[in-house]
Amino acid sequence: MMDPYDRYELMINGRTVKTPVAIASMAGIVDANYVLERKDYAGIAFLGGFSIDEPAMNASLIMEEEGRKEFILKDPVEEIKEQVLKLKDTDVIPGINLRGTNPESFVNIATAIGKDAIYEIDAHCRQPSMINAGSGEFLLKNTDHLSEIIKSLKELDVTVSVKIRAGVAEDDAELAKLIWKAGADIIHVDLMDFGHAKLRVIRNSCPLLIIANNSINNFEKMREMLTHGADIVSLARHSDSETLKNLSESIAKYADETGWYNSPKQLCRGGDLRSLTFCCKPVKQCPLLPAIKKIGMSPKEFHDLKVSIVENTPLASGESTCFGSLAWCCKSSTPCMFRDISLRKEGLSHSDYMRYKHRLSEKIMKKIFEEKDEVSC
């Protein structure tokens, strides 16, 4: 059986993410006991949401009076710490969804718990009392404040996730860039009714790990999210053990068979920037030319970048291919006799080939985002 790291190449806080399936927070519901009942089939679990300062806690009291389930904590620091400790002996990476109104509240939690957890800023809650308190979706309209919270947490050198709701901010691409530039590590996005269109926008705007959320209850929907830019999917209401098991086992099988569990569609079929790994030489009129122009890269720069990355790797070979190198070849799911002849000569399976294409894609993305402050497709 393939090792989870070799299968997904996902690590958080120095730990391997065993499956790209996460449990999303649900206030009043997702605590440590909830996670322990499902621990075999989740790679990450976001506990909470927890209100962590007086304005947010008062908002929680109002929401509870209105009939919503809430975690009402007398001492948020100690009670959250206790919840995280319950997951210590599991292989589930703990996240904590936090609803607060000032940077100090988040820092207090992170200082007490340390670097073993993911600290998720809840910019997602849309209940009026929470927004009026200055938390939840308030942060999507007041991004300077959101940025301050991210920066304050990052001063502690902890992993920071921001939970957002698509379509609330004026521009989701600009929001993703702001979250990235402020120092966050993860964007956890509730896609609402927008689906993969918004996901592609976010993927093309930042190099962060992306968790996609909303009505993902079968493998087909999971694959749709992964294909369009997600690294991980999360489930809330559908996070029953049976559904989690089905998704975890299905994606493991798919990853072992294909070599790249969240490979994108090809660029000419609507793929995000990761799909540049599958593009041929920039010598003809196709979606490649406007795509690289938009990110500020010339055809020659794109050519030289791919050639330099694949040097001394099996992708540098491929004399029988259209352009003399597997660097320019398409996705393994696209039939190509010439590519497959070269793979056989190199002793590479389709899954091996896709693993190399995955690494090529990661290096292209790193180059794009380390050099370009403004990237948008």
7, 351 Cβ separation under 8 angstroms: no
Residue from 137, 103, 104, 105 nearest 123 by CA: 137
Homologous superfamily in CATH for domain 4-258 = Aldolase class I (3.20.20.70)
Predicted pLDDT at 2: 84
Q: What is the mean pLDDT of residues 168-196?
A: 96
338, 320 Cβ separation under 8 angstroms: yes
Angle at 86 between CA 83 and CA 90, to 5 degrees: 130
Predicted pLDDT at 377: 43
Predicted pLDDT at 1: 67
Q: How confident is the model at residue 34 (pLDDT cuts 50, 70, 90)?
A: very high
Give tens-digit pLDDT for 156-175: 999 999 999 999 999 999 99
Predicted pLDDT at 246: 98
Predicted pLDDT at 371: 54
Residue 311 has pLDDT above 80, yes or no: yes
Q: What is the mean pLDDT of residues 137-157?
A: 98
69, 20 Cβ separation under 8 angstroms: no
Task: Please provide the average confidence, as pLDDT, over all residues in the chain.
Answer: 96
The ranges assigned to domains in the chain are 4-258, 267-371
Listing DSSP states for 6-56 in one string gives HHH--EETTEE-SSSEEEPP-TTTBSHHHHHTTGGG-SEEEEEEEE-SHHH
Give tens-digit pLDDT for 341-377: 999 999 999 999 999 999 999 999 999 998 555 444 4
Q: What is the mean pLDDT of residues 22-27?
A: 98
Could you give the percent of the chain with pLDDT greater than 90? 95
The pair of three-digit structure tokens given for residue 117, joined into one six-digit string: 């957890």
